[in-house]
């Protein structure tokens, strides 16, 4: 699973933010970034279907 997130906000102290994650297990089943965890409804991230976790999740509503 590979995920790239790009944020562009010219008014921010950090106007361009780029985050990338590359998983070495390319044959491992996964789901693309979404809200996969009902107990953490603010988180968005890719989900590993084998273990249920993620290498990267973000809360778009948090600073």
Each residue's pLDDT tens digit, 13-47:
999 999 887 767 778 888 988 999 999 999 998 88
- Please check whether residue 25 lies inside any domain of the structure: yes
User: Given 3-state DSSP classes, what are the helix, strand and coil percentages for the chain, each rounded to the nearest 5?
Assistant: 0, 40, 60
Band (pLDDT 50/70/90 cuts) for residue 1 is low
Total domains present in the chain? 1
Which helix H or strand E contains 31, and what residues bound it?
Answer: strand 30-34
| Rounded Cα–Cα distance for residues 6 and 33 (Å) | 13
- Please check whether residue 6 lies inside any domain of the structure: yes
Q: Which domain holds residue 45?
A: 2-58
| Rounded Cα–Cα distance for residues 48 and 55 (Å) | 9
| Rounded Cα–Cα distance for residues 60 and 12 (Å) | 15
- Please check whether residue 24 lies inside any domain of the structure: yes
- Please check whether residue 35 lies inside any domain of the structure: yes
pTM, 2 dp = 0.61
- Please check whether residue 63 lies inside any domain of the structure: no
| Rounded Cα–Cα distance for residues 14 and 40 (Å) | 26
- Please check whether residue 40 lies inside any domain of the structure: yes
């Amino acid at each position: 699973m590979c995920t790239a997130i790009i944020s562009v906000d010219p008014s921010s102290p950090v106007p361009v933010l780029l985050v990338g994650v590359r998983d070495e297990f390319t044959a491992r089943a996964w789901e693309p970034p979404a809200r996969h965890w009902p107990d953490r409804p603010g988180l968005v991230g890719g989900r590993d279907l084998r273990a249920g976790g993620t290498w990267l999740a973000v809360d778009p509503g948090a600073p």
